[in-house]
Structure 1
Amino acid sequence: MKYLVETTFRDKETLKRYLKGNTFESTDKDRIETLQSGGYLGKTIEEKAKGGRGRSSGKGKSDDPGGDVNESSKAESEDTPAKEE
């Protein structure tokens, strides 16, 4: 599970430093309870479900021509320098 770091601390088991606002991940319930009782960790961070109907990074149709143009000719056209006048 993941937890929000409330106070900056160095983990005595891994010697890794956790800054306030970072996330701490562990499945050791005793360790989590110790860190929470010391004020170092907050509540569990809810992980968002992956998949579903999220927004895509692109808009509209794909730039992929469907395999009609081979990759090498596509790369050659992108690397052509502009003409100087």
Structure 2
Amino acid sequence: AKTEGVEFTAALLDEISEELNKSLESSPEPKTKEEKQAVRTKKNSLKSLRRNVINSKSMTNTLRLWGRETPTARPTLMLRLCT
């Protein structure tokens, strides 16, 4: 299977982060060990997503200081969201 990358903007990552956070807050308390593990996995994904947002904003601000709006070889963010 071929995996294709998608470039995410900081604003889009913010939106995804907020929606994932709302989803976690509104979900019922986990009862089984497997449910607890799934919640931990989702929380870790959320933390990773937030780091990506911060890094993306930092990269964009740095490039603006250098006088470039977009990087020449910006890495494509691969994001796996738990559903």
Flag the structure with larger Rg: 1
TM-score by length of 1: 0.24
TM-score by length of 2: 0.24
- Higher strand fraction (1 or 2): 1
Q: Which has the higher contact order (CA 8 A, sep 6+)?
A: 2
